[in-house]
Chains A and B, each alone.
Chain A
Amino acid sequence: MTGKSRTASADKIRCDACPVLCFIAEGRAGACDRYANQEGRLVRLDPLTILETSAGKGVRSVPFLGENGDADWDGDLLHSRRQFVTAIGAGTTYPDYKPAPFIVSQEIDGIDMVTVVTEGIFSYCGVKVKIDTDRHIGQERAVVRVDGEAIGHVMTSEYGSRMLSLGGVEHLTGGSKREGRVTCDAVLRLCNRDAVTMDIDEGAQVVVQAGKAPIIEGTAEKLMRVGCGSAAIGMFAAQWVDHADEVIVVDDHITGVLSEHQAGKLLGVKRTGIRVNGRRSTPGRYFQVAEPGTGWGGTNVQDPLAVLKDADPEYAWPGLRLLMVSTTGEQFAYFELDADLVPQPAPIPTALKASVERIAENCEPSFCSVLFMGGAGGSLRAGVTENPVRLTRSVRDALTYVSCGGAQAYVWPGGGITVMADVTEMPTNAFGYVPTPALVAPIEFTMRLADYRDLGGHMEDVRPLDTIQEGQVRRVRGFGPDPHDPGRYKWDGKP
Chain B
Amino acid sequence: MKMRRRYGAFVALVATATLVASGCSSSSNDSGSESAGDLFKNPVTLNWWHNANQAGPLRTHWEKVANDFHNLHPTVTIKITAVETNDLQRNRLPAALLSGNPPDVFQAWGGGEMVDQVKSDYLKDITAQTKSEVASIGAAASIWSVDGKQYGLPFGFGIEGFWYNKDLFTKAGITAPPTSLDELNAAVTKLKAINVTPIALGAGDKWPAGHWWYNFAVRECSADALKNASTKQNFDDPCFVKAGEDVKTFIGTTPFQPNFLATSGQTGAGSSAGLVANGKAAMELMGAWNGGVMQTLTPNQKEPTFLGWFPFPKVPGAGGSQDTQMGGGDGFSCSKKAPPECVEFLKYIVSPDVEKAFAATGSGIPTVKGAEAGLSDPVLQTIAKATQDAGGVQLWLDTSFGANAGTAMNDAIIAIFANKGTPEGVVTALKKATAR
Are both chains from one complex?
Answer: no
Q: Interface of B with A (CB < 8 Å)? A: none
